[in-house]
Amino acid sequence: MADNIIIRVQSPDGMKKIISTKRETAAAFLKKVAKEFGFNSNGFSVYLNRNKTGEILSQNKTLSLLKIKHGDMLFLFPSGSSTSSGEVMDTATPHTSSSLPSVQEDEIDQYLAKQDGKIYRNKDPQLCRHGALGKCVHCVPLEPFDEDYLNHLDPPVKHMSFHAYLRKLTGGADKGKFAALENISCKIKSGCEGHPPWPEGICTKCQPSAITLNRQKYRHVDNIMFENHTIADRFLDFWRKTGSQRMGYLYGKYTEHKDIPLGIRAEVAAIYEPPQNATQNSLELLEDPKAAAVDEIAAKLGLCKVGWIFTDLLSEDTRIGTVRFTRNKDSHYLSAEECITAGYFQNQHSNPCRLSRDGHFGSKFVTVVATGGPDNQVHFEGYQVSNQCMALVRDECLLPCKDVPELGYAKESSPEQYVPDVFYKITTTFPKDPQYTFCSTQRFPIENRDILGETQDFHSLATYLSQCTTAAFLDIVSDFHLLLFLVTNEVMPLRDSIGLLLDAVRTSNEDLAQTWKKSEQWATIEQLCSKSLLKQICILDLKIFSIECIDRSIKDQGAVPVIPLLSLQVRWGDSPPALWVMGPWGVPRSRPPPQPCGPASTAPS
């Protein structure tokens, strides 16, 4: 036992201690390293120095002859590791906190970075033989990245959380002092002056390394949860009514997912449906002039864009409401086109990270597919593409097959290179106790659904308000789509004056809502709604009577010409239509009903 020594081996996945002896050969030591890290005999190299000098070869020389002593630190580099996983150690100069950019991470990342993260276990009554304050191997707290613990969860967890991975990467005696996250690049490095630029010349310094796709060990988001079923149900209504597919952006927030150590959950509070052209088999996104306004409103409500959702539904039996089960292990889960789109969105919404020199690493942006499940009912499946896929999409290396879009290929790939799937699955759930950030009892029309005859205008707003007369004002305005209309409508946009109302909805404060209700802006909105109702009551059997025509009829009967906007009613049961003005200023009821006011007006009503 006196000859035993402990050698520390640092790798991109963390540090491990290898028990050895001074007389042990380098070949035997390397076999221990391979077993400990899970490599084959030629899948890695071990060096005496961080800059990849002093490689330890598989030979019969003892560790003592190689001048490796107790407590020494060796450095392991997997073959091709610089691009296979997307995160490597700095091999040039040790970096410290001062060499990394100052990054404002998301609130959930700041919160989880301060958590202990360990998995605490109770004392085992059969195996533990110590006092109440003692700890042993059977009850000592586990690290959040412990694979055995994750594999024994129900259901098993194949991917550790991102913050658990960071704990593993920054563990060991050096506390991650030399650990860094490097974003993958598929482009030629600029600034190489030793040769003509590509395509005339290239060298090992500027040439991007080959990428071997593999399964990502962690995921940036571990769970997706819709606050309530109504959010998803209203989104699916479009497909139910038209048979065409639909796409929307998920707005919500990131919270802690406590079912997984240091996990992150994306909670969805609303779905915004941008302008799009859709058929039964395709979706085409159009330019959205309201995109900036939607993001601004969401931010003031404490929400952000956390992902996107689309339908892929085919009806199987309309009598019982079943759908086809098309996405499975025998076909595909995400097509190449969908992976590329997901990668595009994830690159647009990169994840701020303090351990990356670029200031960002990976993404929390999620993809949700509404599709048929094995029980032929609608299921919601959540995904993210890996950091490798993000890099391939960003650098335009990944393309879908023209004739078979569910298949894809990488540029310059060879038949010898096996390309596995580059996405992984996230559980999508609905809570046992639904939450309602937007809790209006009525439903304001969803944007960009003109094809269904559902329009956002002041008539629909007037109809909506007339249905909510008994509800509290905060409940009336707590509808994401209504708030979007108030801000983005072309007649009376409230973008600069709706801040107080958004605060009221965000904090569920009825007093604030009532204060804003007394504003001039809301009074104007009510007047516009009243005028809209006045126009709508002048429609009968496709014959449109103008407002001016009604006013002239009132004057002919001797009524006061200036009347409140909501005091006019048309009784369509008589022929010709009976016109009544209600109130003390109205036409005496003893008079006969007025005659029709000429032919139907062609003026806009």
What is the domain-level CATH number for residue 62? 3.10.20.90
User: Do residues 509 and 413 both lie within one domain?
Assistant: no
Question: Is residue 50 included in any domain, yes or no?
Answer: yes
pLDDT-derived band at 85, boundaries 50, 70, 90? very low
**Mean confidence (pLDDT) of the chain:** 78
| 519's tokens | 């504003």
Residue finishing a domain among 62, 78, 94: 78
172 confidence band (pLDDT: 50, 70, 90) = low
226 and 362 housed in the same domain? yes
Residues 356 and 394 occupy one common structural domain: yes
Name the band, by pLDDT with cuts 50, 70 and 90, for residue 267: very high
Regarding whether 409 and 461 lie in a shared domain, the answer is no
- Is there a domain that residue 538 lies in? yes
Name which residue leads in pLDDT, 206 or 586: 206
- Kindly tell me the sign of the dihedral angle through the C-alpha atoms of 567, 570, 573, 578: positive
Q: How many domains does the chain have?
A: 3
Residues 270, 228 share a domain? yes
Q: How far apart are CA 72 and CA 7, in angstroms?
A: 5
CATH classification of the domain holding 356? 3.40.140.10
Q: Could you say which of 546, 563, 595 is where a domain stops?
A: 546
Q: Based on the domain organization, do 288 and 357 belong to the same domain?
A: yes
Q: Which range (5-9, 287-291, 537-541, 560-564) has the least confidence?
A: 560-564
Indicate whether 409 and 479 sit together in one domain: no
Residues 6+ apart with CB under 8 A from 517: 473
Residue in this structure with the two tokens 């129900």, named with its chain if needed: 154
Task: Please report the DSSP string for 21-81 in residue order.
Answer: ETT-BHHHHHHHHHHHHT--TTSEEEESSTTS-SB--SSS-BTTTTT--TT-EEEEEETTH
Instruction: Please check whether residues 249 and 364 belong to one and the same domain.
Output: yes
Beta bridge partners of 425: 383
The CA angle 316-319-321, to the nearest 5 degrees, is 55
Q: Using alpha carbons only, how large is the chain's radius of gyration in Å?
A: 33
Residue 99 lies in a domain: no
State what percent of residues in the chain have pLDDT above 90: 30
Same-domain pairing of 258 and 331: yes
Q: Which residues, 6 or more positions from 342, have their beta carbon under 8 angstroms from its beta carbon?
A: 308, 334, 365, 367, 383, 384, 385, 389, 423
Distance CA 345, CA 363 (A): 9
DSSP state of 170: T
The pLDDT assigned to 534 comes to: 57
For residues 155-170, average pLDDT:
89
Looking at 30, 47, 78, the residue that finishes a domain is 78
Instruction: Report the candidate in 259, 217, 222, 184 with the shortest Cα–Cα distance to residue 14.
Output: 217
Do 161 and 180 meet the contact criterion of CB atoms below 8 Å apart? no
> What residue numbers bound the domain in which 48 lies?
4-78
What average pLDDT does range 344-363 have in this prediction? 91
**Would 329 be classed as within a structural domain?**
yes
Residue 197 domain flag: no
Q: Letter for the amino acid at 316?
A: E
Any domain includes 511: yes
Quick: pLDDT tens for 432-467.
Answer: 777 777 866 678 999 999 888 889 888 889 888 888
Is residue 160 one of the residues assigned to a domain?
no
- pLDDT category, 266, cuts 50, 70, 90? very high
Same domain, 367 and 470: no
pLDDT digits (tens, 9 = 90+) for 28-43: 888 888 888 877 656 7
Collapsing DSSP to helix, strand or coil, 133 comes out as coil
277 and 240 fall within a common domain: yes
316, 398: one domain:
yes
Tell me whether residue 566 is in a domain: no
The mean per-residue pLDDT over the stretch 537-551 comes to 43
Most confident of 47-56, 159-168, 567-576: 159-168
Q: 454 or 425: whose pLDDT is higher? A: 454
Highest mean pLDDT pick, 58-62, 192-196, 363-367, 479-483 = 363-367
User: Of the ranges 52-56, 387-391, 423-427, which one carries the lowest mean pLDDT score?
Assistant: 423-427
